[in-house]
Amino acid sequence: MQQAHEIDYRIYGEEMQYVDVELDPGETAIAESGSFMMMDDGIQMQTIFGDGSRPGGTNSVLDKLFSAGKRILTGESLFMTAFTNIGQGKKRVAFASPYPGKIIPLDLDALGRYVVCQKDAFLCAARGVSVGIEFQRRLGTGLFGGEGFIMQKLEGDGMAFVHAGGHVFERHLAPGETLRIDTGCLVAYTHTVQYDIQFVGGIRNTIFGGEGLFFATLRGPGTVWIQTLPVSRLASRILAYGTYQRKGEGSILGGLGNLLDGDGR
């Protein structure tokens, strides 16, 4: 019997997407703080500790504190927001992506009820999905993984949605098949995939390669989701552009030089 709420959804947009979640009376969706976009009248919004995947019970307070503590380790807020349909008939609530990219729907029940993702990738999910932490057990992975020693773990049998930058695609790995990718381009993978870090090697690659010193090595069987534009790469380019001193600034040509250069702001 499915424990998570059964939600329907539809994803809109291309570069800046949002997911529209349809809730039956009594159904709840949980989301990261700041991802809310809009909702119908009749939906109640409530701030909760952790992910709310273990409501009730004699240890409910301890469970909530433990869940909130796990979220601190992943660099997320102590709180999440729950959106519950308390009205009559179907209601809709929408969540938007934080930067250009794609929203990936994950049917956890079909994916072995366990998916590991980058700690900032989670967007929203049906209530009943547990948002926890995944420690990288190997020392090399923890020290040189690029995206940190701690990742997020999504468990349960409901729908979850993660977001990644640029174009996102999935790769199915056969048993024993190995894939090496940039550590920042890894979005998520199913729990059957073995994840490790591999040194690039070669003095020229190390000094002049410009692609980092380590690969993420993934070995099947399982499914891997890959992004073309990690937010860290996007941020570094924006920072570099913002601190770049244009050659035309302060020159004799001044604004005319910028105009001839195609920058006529």
Residue 182 is assigned to a structural domain of this protein:
yes
Residue 150 is assigned to a structural domain of this protein:
yes
pLDDT of residue 146: 45
* Amino acid at position 106, single letter: L
Residue 263 is assigned to a structural domain of this protein:
no
Tell me the average confidence (pLDDT) per consecutive run of 10 residues in the chain, 265 residues long. Answer: 84 92 95 91 88 54 56 63 94 93 95 91 92 66 49 92 93 96 90 84 48 77 93 74 57 49 49
Structure-token pair, residue 117: 């993702």
Residue 264 is assigned to a structural domain of this protein:
no
Domain that residue 20 falls in? 8-244
Residue 131 is assigned to a structural domain of this protein:
yes
| CA 14 and chain centroid, separation | 17
Residue 252 is assigned to a structural domain of this protein:
no
Q: How many domains does the chain have?
A: 1
Write the Ramachandran bin of 39: left for phi over 0, alpha for psi from -120 to 50, otherwise beta. Answer: beta
pLDDT of residue 119: 80
Global pTM?
0.78
Residue 230 is assigned to a structural domain of this protein:
yes
Residue 36 is assigned to a structural domain of this protein:
yes
Nearest to residue 109, comparing CAs of 90, 92, 125, 93?
Answer: 125
For residue 111, give Cα distances in angstroms to 69, 216, 244: 26, 21, 45
CATH number where 149 lies: 3.60.160.10
